[in-house]
Chains A and B, each alone.
Chain A
């Protein structure tokens, strides 16, 4: 401990604050990440099946979805957060703090993630879909037991990437009052010139990312044959 305090002297009094901020970041990543994961899977699958030649081809749905995703993706996250404050108030009752950040984080993550899911699913061999159709499986069964099941390694890979970029977004959300590690780094590292605190924040974030990658790579190894 004392060695740690020698390298980062401000940790002694800010340690508790750091833990609290870490908790906030983890909460933001976990809650918005989980919701984004399911929404992204849903929209990614919807894109793939409604696409021309898809098992539930529907050009109208595909076009609308595609346009909506492209529009949201083209808005810089900082602006998106501000724009979504009223929406957040309507949905979760507040536009600030950890809870107030969820809507923006999800909106900033889902479009990107959906596109990645779409491209993972598009890589699946067309023949597998054909074979399962020939066996009499319905579109819903094909979605779950072929598209999703056979793509687990690819889905894991893009989920990892998305979680890592989500951590980046939480840092930005922190800057406008959502708390978390981004907020911590700005308050102490930037405004109070505690350089050691900036470094500590970076290291903590690196550790979180490494854990995510470790888990992801483990899943990929176990599911690739």
Chain B
């Protein structure tokens, strides 16, 4: 379990001081995948570096399994760090060493015998699917392969926690997916707690059990991934959801007065967000039948959060005011989120 208590980090630079992390308290349970999402400069990297104290918090406490890291001396801290793996956006592999030697590097301080180390490295290479590349140098690998080596290296000392700072940001979408699959497997099969920092919604929604949204150094919203993204409480969370879908286009179309988005007086254009079982299509046809109104779908999208569907529909309802009101009541009663886009 990782616990941050009122962590603050202030950088004092010649140009003034930067409050990179503001009063962050959070708890990450054993075995979960915890996402921290935020736009560039939100303080995500600084926060994750506060977990293994690569960055010492200006104030606040950091605990791992009830050991207060912020109270340890450098030597003790280095021992604890061996049990916290970390991977980075730019992989940070040692260029002068082969894949095998890179994975061996963190094992220099381990008490394993030479044969045990060799077995360990071989099984890690197997895990990340790079057994044939054991004698290759990093310059001979693709980005995805480099990150796999970095993951194997981070796992060499059997860590309990794996910190990932933008681990997929330098990779194409397909490679990103394969790295995320690998991380999910590491989490599941080895029971390793994963903290994942990203600015990409696509990364969080696939594998994170819980998520924290960061803005200007503070965690503004956090909770179960499905809950946070199906009922976003903050503007910035909504921004992230929109970056993942095409929904933002609707606003552009409205601004451009596109034909599609024209509505008559009394009509309403709604954004419906529904999760799990309350499916969209039947709802629309039911509205027409039961309330005698026209429901016209302008946009539809289904996303999957940890495998659970999250649907988005933009519809215009036209009909008598009373009927529209009743239809809205019915929609609300289903637990579907409604946002009025235009009326």
Q: Which of A82-122 contact B (CB under 8 A)?
A: none
- The answer to whether the Cβ of A11 comes within 8 Å of any Cβ in the partner chain is no
- The answer to whether the Cβ of A225 comes within 8 Å of any Cβ in the partner chain is yes
Q: Provide the bound-state CA to CA distance between A135 and B109, in Å.
A: 10
- The answer to whether the Cβ of B293 comes within 8 Å of any Cβ in the partner chain is no
Name the contact of B90 in the complex, choosing from A127, A134, A136, A149 (C-beta under 8 A): A127
Distance in Å: Cβ of A140 to nearest Cβ of chain B: 12
User: Is B81 a contact of A134 with CB atoms below 8 Å?
Assistant: yes
User: Is B86 a contact of A134 with CB atoms below 8 Å?
Assistant: yes
Measured between beta carbons, the chain B residues less than 8 angstroms from A145 are: 105, 108
Distance in Å: Cβ of A201 to nearest Cβ of chain B: 39
Q: Provide the bound-state CA to CA distance between A125 and B96, in Å.
A: 13
Q: Provide the bound-state CA to CA distance between A146 and B108, in Å.
A: 13
Measured between beta carbons, the chain A residues less than 8 angstroms from B92 are: 125, 127-128, 130-131
Nearest-CB residue, chain B, relative to A153: B96
Q: Provide the bound-state CA to CA distance between A134 and B78, in Å.
A: 8
Q: Identify whether the interface residues of B are mostly helix, strand, loop, or mixed.
A: mixed
Nearest-CB residue, chain A, relative to B84: A134
User: Is A130 a contact of B54 with CB atoms below 8 Å?
Assistant: yes
User: Is B88 a contact of A136 with CB atoms below 8 Å?
Assistant: no
* Binary per-residue interface labels of chain A (198-225) against chain B in the complex, 1 for a CB within 8 Å, 0 otherwise: 0000000000000000000000000101
Q: Which of A127-161 contact B (CB under 8 A)?
A: 127-128, 130-138, 141, 145-146, 149-150, 152
Kindly state the interface size class of chain A when it binds its partner.
Answer: 20 to 34
Q: Provide the bound-state CA to CA distance between A90 and B52, in Å.
A: 51
- The answer to whether the Cβ of B243 comes within 8 Å of any Cβ in the partner chain is no
Distance in Å: Cβ of B112 to nearest Cβ of chain A: 15
Given the interface pairs A136-B109, A225-B137, the reply to whether A146 lies near B94 with Cβ below 8 Å is yes
User: Is A137 a contact of B54 with CB atoms below 8 Å?
Assistant: no
Nearest-CB residue, chain B, relative to A126: B92
* Binary per-residue interface labels of chain B (38-79) against chain A in the complex, 1 for a CB within 8 Å, 0 otherwise: 000000000000001010000000000000000000110011
Measured between beta carbons, the chain A residues less than 8 angstroms from B139 are: 225
Nearest-CB residue, chain B, relative to A223: B96
- The answer to whether the Cβ of B95 comes within 8 Å of any Cβ in the partner chain is yes
Measured between beta carbons, the chain B residues less than 8 angstroms from A125 are: 90, 92
User: Is A135 a contact of B54 with CB atoms below 8 Å?
Assistant: no
Measured between beta carbons, the chain A residues less than 8 angstroms from B75 are: 138
User: Is A127 a contact of B81 with CB atoms below 8 Å?
Assistant: no
Distance in Å: Cβ of B223 to nearest Cβ of chain A: 28
Given the interface pairs A130-B88, A134-B52, A135-B106, the reply to whether A149 lies near B79 with Cβ below 8 Å is no
Q: Provide the bound-state CA to CA distance between A145 and B108, in Å.
A: 11
- The answer to whether the Cβ of B160 comes within 8 Å of any Cβ in the partner chain is no
User: Is A135 a contact of B81 with CB atoms below 8 Å?
Assistant: yes
Q: Provide the bound-state CA to CA distance between A193 and B199, in Å.
A: 76
Measured between beta carbons, the chain A residues less than 8 angstroms from B120 are: none
Q: Provide the bound-state CA to CA distance between A11 and B74, in Å.
A: 66
* Binary per-residue interface labels of chain B (85-108) against chain A in the complex, 1 for a CB within 8 Å, 0 otherwise: 110101010111000000001101
Nearest-CB residue, chain B, relative to A135: B106
Q: Lowest 5 A-B CB distances belong to which pairs?
A: A136-B81, A225-B137, A131-B92, A127-B92, A136-B82
List 17 additional contacts besides A125-B90, A127-B88, A135-B82; criterion CB under 8 Å: A130-B54, A131-B86, A131-B88, A131-B92, A134-B86, A134-B163, A135-B81, A135-B106, A136-B106, A137-B78, A145-B108, A150-B94, A150-B95, A152-B96, A225-B96, A225-B138, A225-B139
